[in-house]
Amino acid sequence: MEQQNFLIGFAQLALVLTGFVSIFVVFQIDEAAKSRVNTHHATSILMGSLVAFFGALIPIAMYNFGVVEEALWRWSSMVLFGLSFSYFLIMINMTIRLTKAEFKEAGYLHMVSSYGFGWAGGGALIWNVFSDAMPGYYVLACILTLVAALVGFVAFSVQKILHW
């Protein structure tokens, strides 16, 4: 498979983000700093980076089971869409439980951009399922999923560092 080296590197990048954020959350959020907003940020970052990690490994595993060419990207897209949709359901559940003040604290830009990147990634996966499946749409969906997590990390970091 032509994209294997990229996908392995991408999986490593997503896993590094997961580990870094885990350490950051453990040391930056003490008992006094625990809040639904911080939990929302941490969950978004960790889940997004893990979905991106598994997303990068799905086509490699399927390829090694003999799934090739268009079927590889179509089935990989279906599996990743399932993971991404689970991620969306968990995050939307957490988001709608935020009060208006907590939502404002989490940040309108963060919410719009994270959900926007997530929807764009989901759209790329749906496109791959219902049209000619190509690796480009799949890779784009993986990248957008990781970008959604990175947006959460940046927003979380800025709020912690600047005490917003």
pLDDT tens digits for range 80-97: 999 999 999 999 999 999
- Under 8 Å between Cβ of 59 and 13: no
Residue 135: which region, alpha, beta or left (left: phi > 0; alpha: psi -120 to 50)?
Answer: alpha
Please report whether residue 30 resides in a domain: no
Q: How many domains does the chain have?
A: 1
Q: What's the angle, vertex CA 121, arms to CA 117 and CA 127, rounded to 5?
A: 145
Neighbours of 24 (CB within 10 A): 16
**pLDDT recorded at residue 152:** 79
Please report whether residue 147 resides in a domain: yes
Neighbours of 44 (CB within 10 A): 28
**pLDDT recorded at residue 131:** 95
* Mean confidence (pLDDT) of the chain: 90
Quote the domain boundaries for residue 56.
4-24+35-162
Identity of residue 132? D
Please report whether residue 138 resides in a domain: yes
160 confidence band (pLDDT: 50, 70, 90): low
Please report whether residue 87 resides in a domain: yes
Q: DSSP character for 131? A: S
What percent of the chain clears pLDDT 90, i.e. is strictly above it?
66
Question: What average pLDDT does this structure show over 48-70?
Answer: 97
pTM: 0.90
CB neighbour burial string for 146-164, b if at least 16 within 10 angstroms, e if fewer: bbbbbbbbebbeebeeeee
Question: What average pLDDT does this structure show over 58-75?
Answer: 97
Question: What average pLDDT does this structure show over 59-71?
Answer: 97
Please report whether residue 124 resides in a domain: yes
Please report whether residue 95 resides in a domain: yes
**pLDDT recorded at residue 30:** 64
- pLDDT, tens only, 12-51: 999 998 998 888 777 766 666 678 888 888 888 899 999 9
Please report whether residue 130 resides in a domain: yes
**pLDDT recorded at residue 75:** 98
**pLDDT recorded at residue 161:** 72
Please report whether residue 29 resides in a domain: no
**pLDDT recorded at residue 3:** 95
